[in-house]
Amino acid sequence: MKEPFAKVELFAFDIDGTLTDGTTTWLGDDVGWVQNYSVRDGEALLRIQAQGVPVIPLSRNKTKCARVRMERLGLPTDWLGVSDKTSALADLSKRRDVSYDRLLYVGDGIEDAPILRAVGCGVAVADAHSKTREAADYVAQAKGGARVIEELADLLFAAKGWPL
């Protein structure tokens, strides 16, 4: 499994069901929908980015909560709230000048399966849809929202020979 991770030049991820456990809570009109995020996953995203690998959320999530979380991590929000992930992936690849075979994408939903098949390192969380797990190059041990990014950061660092 080391080879696909060694080739990664851009780390992209879905939010709901990947960075979160896929549940949302309505806190009223003033706040909207909220999700819980692992601090350790956030730290892992920052560690990856610190090594020079762009880290980019690619998600249909349109919530204020997700946007603020990504902004606080210093991540671009250009591909939040997208309706068509396949088109968004093409735009991301073109604008960042990274070919699909150098992209890692982690997701959970059935709509992520085509993305996982298209990229060089497609990752599904442990509790992803069965079709998404089938499409993945790697199925994480962690479930969505349970430090899956931390698990992937460790694999990426090991494959690239970076110190933890």
> Is CATH 3.30.9.10 what the domain over 2-160 is classified as, yes or no?
no
Q: Which structure tokens are listed for 63?
A: 């919530």
- Tokens 């995020």, located at residue: 37
Q: Residue 68, Cβ neighbours under 10 Å: how many?
A: 12
pLDDT on residue 3: 86
Where do the domains of the chain lie?
A: 2-160
- The pTM score is 0.95
As a whole number of angstroms, the distance between CA 2 and CA 126 comes to 19
> Which of these, 144, 150, 139, lies nearest to 20 by C-alpha position?
144
> Which of these, 113, 110, 13, lies nearest to 70 by C-alpha position?
13
As a whole number of angstroms, the distance between CA 157 and CA 164 comes to 7
Sites in the chain below the pLDDT cut of 50: none
In a 10 Å sphere around its CB, with 0-12 CB exposed, 13-18 middle and 19+ buried, how is residue 13 labelled?
A: buried
**Angstrom distances, CA of residue 86 to CA of 60, 76, 80, 102, 111:** 11, 18, 13, 16, 9
